[in-house]
Every structure is written in structure tokens, then in C-alpha cells.
């Protein structure tokens, strides 16, 4: 397959480099990724400033933009070929439950949703991973499956892999996204010149994390695979809110 590889940790991040090397054993890989860590960028697109893309000697292209900018640019003029699929990662840190709303890793995959195959976002659930190779092997397995049995092109597979050797993973589980409690308090402090600064707090603890959720799978040592959809419509509310229409 022709793979467009991106991430949100930056084009030199060890997770991306490990995945690139593994994917290259069987596929054609082009990296287009942010030139610095853009974790938490979600689906932001840079529209008020131009973007610059720097091609390194090894072919990696680094862009001074967000993960979404990278994939958007790659698919709409930067590359002279059309990839079959976008793979994003390997992220350092979990993207479980509502993390997916903030995740630049998931956003990069999402931006590739108009391609022929479903896109893959992959994360190692540890913030200081030691076993990126396990997650890379998981992606290779998934690509084999996708080639045999393509999913609709607007499907995003959000994959979270426990930080352990591949042989120690306790299997694969297809899951639904759980959710977290609200985030911890914002930290308020002062900069060296006495001005107030704020630091966004850590993500909240797991709330909806029972059997069947992504949280539960990784806590049990299994690879979690959650198929995501971009449609945010709350279909179950269409009729009820629809009844308002005549009275508004
Ligand atoms: Mn990240």
C-alpha cells in the first residue's frame, strides 16, 4: 500500500520513526508531519497564515502546522501521488474515550477519511513508551486485514496499544469509546515577571470504563480497536428537537 504517515508528536518523534521503519518493510511510506510537538491540536486547520514544508534528506517532510494541516496539504497538492491510506502515530500516550476530541493523532487520521481505505490512528498508552515496536506490529497486522477486507473510506480505526512486548499483548478487542470525568483543575501560577499564567490540568480519571470500552481493553492488556465516525449528529434527538421546528 501507499501510506501517508503523520502524527502529532512531531516528525522526529521516536514513535513515528519506529512505525515508519516497520511499515517500510512491506509498504511505500511518505511522512508528512508537524515540525514540532502539536499534541492536543485536535482538527485545527491553519487558514490565516501560510505553511512551509521542509523535505529532509531521508524524504521526511516536516510542516510548520498542525497534524490536520499536514494531511490536508499532503492530499491536496503537496504530494504527486495519492496514498491509499493515512496512518497516524505512534502517539506517546493514550487516546481513549473523550481524548479523541482533543487528539491531534486522531485528527490526522480523520483528515484522510476521503481516501480509499479506512484511516488508522495508533497510540501507545504510556506517556514514556518502551515498546513502540509492539504497536508498529499491530499496525502491520491491521493493514494486512484491511487489504483483504477494506472498510468504508470514512471509517477511522482508533487503536490503543498497551506498553509491553508484542508477545505479551493479551489479544485484540474491538471496543466502543468510553469517557472520562472532567479534567483536573487548571494550574495557576506566575511567570518570572510576575504575570499570571495558567496550565491546563491533566485529563480526568476514567468514568465510563467497563467491559466493552477502550479503557477496559487496554487495562486488561489487550489492543483496543475503536471504529470512529466523523458524523457528530445525535440521531436519537432528531425527532424530539424536530418537533420544536414549528414552534421556533
Ligand atoms: Mn501526541
Grid cell 494486512 is found at: 144
What does the alpha-carbon distance between residue 14 and residue 117 come to, in Å, rounded to a whole number?
26
Of 203, 211, 124, nearest to 163 by C-alpha is: 124
Alpha carbon of 172 to ligand 1 centroid (Å) = 23
Alpha carbon of 8 to ligand 1 centroid (Å) = 5
Alpha carbon of 242 to ligand 1 centroid (Å) = 39
pLDDT in tens, 118-156: 999 999 999 999 999 999 999 999 999 999 999 888 899
Alpha carbon of 91 to ligand 1 centroid (Å) = 5
Average pLDDT over the chain reads: 96
What does the alpha-carbon distance between residue 178 and residue 192 come to, in Å, rounded to a whole number?
40
Is 102 in contact with 120 (CB distance < 8 Å)?
no
Of 107, 111, 159, nearest to 137 by C-alpha is: 159
In the predicted model, is pLDDT for residue 115 greater than 90?
no
Alpha carbon of 160 to ligand 1 centroid (Å) = 13
Residues in the chain: 248
Alpha carbon of 104 to ligand 1 centroid (Å) = 7
Whole-prediction pTM:
0.95
pLDDT in tens, 54-107: 999 999 999 999 999 999 999 999 999 999 999 999 999 999 999 999 999 999
Alpha carbon of 67 to ligand 1 centroid (Å) = 10
Alpha carbon of 81 to ligand 1 centroid (Å) = 27
Amino acid at each position: 500500500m501507499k501510506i501517508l504517515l503523520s502524527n502529532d508528536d512531531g516528525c522526529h518523534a521516536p514513535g513515528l520513526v519506529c512505525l515508519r521503519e516497520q511499515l517500510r518493510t512491506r509498504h511505500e511510506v511518505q511522512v508528512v508531519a508537524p515540525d514540532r510537538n502539536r499534541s492536543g491540536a485536535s482538527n485545527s486547520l491553519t487558514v490565516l497564515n501560510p505553511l512551509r514544508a521542509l523535505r529532509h534528506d531521508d524524504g521526511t517532510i516536516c510542516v510548520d502546522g498542525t497534524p490536520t494541516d499536514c494531511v490536508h496539504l499532503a492530499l491536496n497538492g503537496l504530494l504527486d501521488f495519492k496514498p491509499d491510506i493515512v496512518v497516524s502515530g505512534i502517539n506517546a500516550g493514550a487516546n481513549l474515550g473523550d481524548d479523541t476530541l482533543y487528539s491531534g493523532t486522531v485528527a490526522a487520521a480523520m483528515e484522510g477519511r476521503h481516501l480509499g481505505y479506512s484511516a488508522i490512528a495508533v497510540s501507545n498508552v504510556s506517556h514514556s513508551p518502551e515498546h513502540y515496536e509492539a504497536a508498529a506490529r499491530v499496525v502491520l497486522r491491521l493493514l494486512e486485514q484491511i487489504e483483504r477486507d477494506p472498510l468504508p473510506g470514512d471509517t477511522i480505526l482508533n487503536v490503543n496499544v498497551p506498553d509491553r512486548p508484542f508477545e505479551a499483548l493479551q489479544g485484540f478487542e474491538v471496543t466502543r469509546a468510553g469517557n472520562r470525568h472532567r479534567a483536573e483543575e487548571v494550574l495557576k501560577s506566575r511567570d518570572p515577571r510576575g504575570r499570571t499564567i495558567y496550565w491546563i490540568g491533566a485529563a480526568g480519571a476514567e468514568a465510563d470504563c467497563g467491559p466493552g470500552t477502550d479503557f477496559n481493553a487496554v487495562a486488561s492488556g489487550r489492543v483496543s480497536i475503536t471504529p470512529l465516525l466523523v458524523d457528530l449528529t445525535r440521531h436519537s434527538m432528531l425527532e424530539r428537537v424536530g418537533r420544536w421546528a414549528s414552534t421556533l
